[in-house]
Structure formats: C-alpha cells, structure tokens
Amino acid sequence: MNVVRKHVRRMHPYVPGEQPKERGLVKLNTNENPYPPSPKVLAAVKQSVDQRLRLYPDPKANKLRAQLASLHGVEPENVIVGNGSDELLALAARAFVEPGRDCVQYFTPSYSLYRVLADIHNAKRNEVSLLDDFAMPTVAQLRKGKNWDFKAALTYVTTPNAPSGRGYTTAELDAFCSAHRGVVLLDEAYVDFAHEHAMGLVVKHPHVLVSRTFSKAYSLCFQRIGYFVGSVELIAGLDKIRDSYNVNGLGQIAAQATLRELPFYRSNFGKIIRFREDVAAQLAKLGFQTLPSQTNFILTKAPRFKACTWLKKLRERKILVRWFKDPRVEDFLRITIGNEKEMQTLFRAVKAILRG
Ligand SMILES: Cc1ncc(COP(=O)(O)O)c(C=O)c1O
C-alpha cells in the first residue's frame, strides 16, 4: 500500500547546502553571515530564556510587525512574519495558486526552492531562462519569446539573483511587475548587499509582495525569521492560512532586538560588500572569472579543473563551497563571502590546489 500522494512520490525534495557535524570546517556554502549577531541581540535572547518558555509566543508577532512596518513606512497589516522566509514562500503558493490548474512561474537559474514549492502544491510550473549573463529579459523580450505567462497566478523573482549574484534595478522590476496580472513575489533575501531595493513597489502595485529575511544580512539563520510586505488583501490571505504560532518566541525577541541595532548591521554589510570586491580581485589573479555580485556570495569559474572537482578538492581541505548540477551554472562554484580568516584559508587552499 502506498499512502503517499502520487505527485509527492514523484517530486524531488529541496536539497539544502551541507550543515556539517564535524568541527573546524570553513563553511562558505550556505550564504550565512560570517559575523555574529550584535552583543545586544545575544543579550536580549539570553535574558529571555526563563520560565516564559512554557508559554506560547505572540501568535501575531505584533511588536515585531509594528517595528517592521515603521521601518518600511507601511502599516502592521501590510506585514506578515514567518518561520524564515521559506515558510512564507510556501504559504504564497497555498494562498494564491489553485493546485492542478494554476501556474507557478520563475526564472532559471534562481532559488531552487520555487520548483519544489510548485511541485508540493501540484501546481503547473513555468520555468524561463534568464539571459546569458543572468540579466532578466525585458517585458518586450518575454512577450516576443511567447513562453512567459503574464497571467501566472504566482511569479517568484529572486532579486538580486541567486545563484548568480546579479542585481536588478527597481526600474526594470517596476516595468516587469506592471506587466503582470497575478501575484509577483520579489524575493529580496540578499538585498542588503545590493545597490537598490524594490520595497517601494508594494505601495505602487497591490499584486506585488516583497520577501525579506533576517537570515543573511542579520546573522539570524538559527532563529528562522523572515517576512513579507504587501497589500492588506494579500497579507490577510496569507495570514489566514499560516500556523497560529508560526514564529517562535526567541526568534521574535531576537528580530526585535536586531531592528534596534541597525547601524551595527549596516556596518557589517559595508564590510562584506567591500571584502566581496577584494575577494573577486584576488581570485582573478589566480585565474578565476567571477561574475559581478550584489549579494554576500560570488559565482566564479575556476581555472584548470572542473567546478565539481574543485568542490571535492576544497572539501578535502575542509572548505565547503556550493556547486549546482545545473547546465547553466555547472561550470561555476558559488562561494559565500566569509570573514578575513576564512577567506585567507580559502586562498591558501586554492594556491595549493593550483600548485598540484
Ligand atoms: C533567494 C533565497 N530566498 C529565501 C531564502 C530562505 O531564507 P530563510 O532563511 O529566511 O528561510 C534563501 C536561503 O538560502 C534564499 O537564497
């Protein structure tokens, strides 16, 4: 007897980057922030570990939503908080897409979870390739290509793009959103490392949602906090179907404390952005071709060996980077920008591998 639904049996699950058990590895594979949270955030969490743990957290994350609303110049009703932005990306499929009938659409390559979410939901999928340099096709190009569905129920856009790191301008995203009839979800997981953000588009377009996370720029992956900003109508639809206590209490406290410490984090983004350019320049001297990035990682083509061989050789030297077996990016390694010490370890390993 097979009790698992047919489409679930057929689908491939999401494969997260390796979270190693062994110690002493240099972890440049999942775009975590190399710097710890602010000491005040750590203190706020530690001070909250007391008898309160027996109580349920605020089901609506009201304090956090109020802070986020004030940060973005919207009302709390325009904000929903999730157990990481991944939870909300999944909720979007459940709220806006009719299984078996409607279409979930996205560019390739982009965040590989979108495909899995479409499959879990048994939605139709429309995958359209980004241009050769990972630029987004213009609306005119998409119309000409005839394979893009401007009425798709849900369109996910990773901006800046992952895994390429390429950034998109607000003007091009605005033109893109204007052309759509279904929900457009701008996934800005890495936007703090980019030149521009598109938060203003949620005010202009009632069918647009912007997704943000505390995982990358705010060193808070462990606490799982992400959020969407959008029109009251879309946010209310998502709010109806989320788990009552979807955001854990310590996560809410950590995120609230983070928002009181924004200057601390902004100086970290600056450091990572400057270092990213430095890393690309140093790798170029060793024969690596790195794409321009507006994120906290780089996509780079390594010399001499295939990218999958580099992955293994670096792993043997206790350095984890990411490689995707996808024709568009299989010649590249995706390397998270770590701290200075980690990147020095990477450079030493690369030089040793090149010496053979
Ligand atoms: C493009 C993109 N969106 C969303 C996420 C998920 O972030 P979170 O930790 O908030 O679930 C990731 C994480 O890797 C990502 O790369």
Distance 87 CA to ligand 1 centre (A): 10
Distance 297 CA to ligand 1 centre (A): 13
Is a pLDDT exceeding 80 seen at residue 1?
no
pLDDT at residue 165 in the model:
98
Is a pLDDT exceeding 80 seen at residue 308?
yes
Residue type, 48: S
For 53-95, write each residue's pLDDT tens digit: 999 999 999 999 999 999 999 999 999 999 999 999 999 999 9
Is a pLDDT exceeding 90 seen at residue 187?
yes
Residue of the CA atom closest to atom 12 of ligand 1 = 189
C-beta of residue 230 within 8 angstroms of C-beta of residue 202: yes
Phi, psi angle pair for 299, to nearest 5°: -110, 120
Is a pLDDT exceeding 80 seen at residue 6?
yes
292-329 b/e with 16+ CB inside 10 Å = b? Answer: ebbbbbbbbbbeeeebeebbebbeeeebbbbbbeeeeb
Closest alpha carbon to 310 in 340, 290, 288 = 288
**Average per-residue pLDDT in the chain?**
96
Residue of the CA atom closest to atom 7 of ligand 1 = 85
Mutate to test the pocket of ligand 1, among 89, 112, 113 (most ligand atoms within 8 A of CB): 113
pLDDT at residue 15 in the model:
87
Distance 352 CA to ligand 1 centre (A): 33
Side-chain half-sphere CA neighbours of 336 within 13 A: 21
For 93-120, write each residue's pLDDT tens digit: 999 999 999 999 999 999 999 999 999 9
pLDDT at residue 19 in the model:
85
Distance 304 CA to ligand 1 centre (A): 32
pLDDT at residue 61 in the model:
98
Mean pLDDT for 126-137 is: 97
User: Closest ligand 1 atom, CA of 31?
Assistant: 14
Residues framing ligand 1 (Cβ under 6 A): 31, 84-86, 111, 158, 162, 187, 189, 213, 215, 221, 226
Is a pLDDT exceeding 90 seen at residue 20?
no
| Alpha-carbon span 175 to 64, nearest angstrom | 31
pLDDT at residue 17 in the model:
82
pLDDT at residue 164 in the model:
97
| Alpha-carbon span 1 to 243, nearest angstrom | 30
Residue tagged 């190693």 (tokens): 20
User: Closest ligand 1 atom, CA of 85?
Assistant: 10
Distance 226 CA to ligand 1 centre (A): 9
Distance 350 CA to ligand 1 centre (A): 28
Residue 147 burial by Cβ neighbours in a 10 Å radius (0-12, 13-18, 19+): exposed
Residue of the CA atom closest to atom 15 of ligand 1 = 189
Distance 28 CA to ligand 1 centre (A): 15
pLDDT at residue 18 in the model:
80
Distance 85 CA to ligand 1 centre (A): 6
User: Closest ligand 1 atom, CA of 87?
Assistant: 11
| Alpha-carbon span 311 to 336, nearest angstrom | 13
> What is the SS3 assignment for 236?
helix
Mutate to test the pocket of ligand 1, among 86, 112, 225 (most ligand atoms within 8 A of CB): 86
Mean pLDDT for 279-285 is: 97
At residue 343 the predicted structure's pLDDT band, cuts being 50, 70 and 90, is very high
Mutate to test the pocket of ligand 1, among 111, 116, 193, 228 (most ligand atoms within 8 A of CB): 111
Mutate to test the pocket of ligand 1, among 85, 166, 322 (most ligand atoms within 8 A of CB): 85
Distance 16 CA to ligand 1 centre (A): 10
Residue of the CA atom closest to atom 3 of ligand 1 = 189
For 236-275, write each residue's pLDDT tens digit: 999 999 999 999 999 999 999 999 999 999 999 999 999 9
At residue 23 the predicted structure's pLDDT band, cuts being 50, 70 and 90, is confident
Distance 354 CA to ligand 1 centre (A): 33
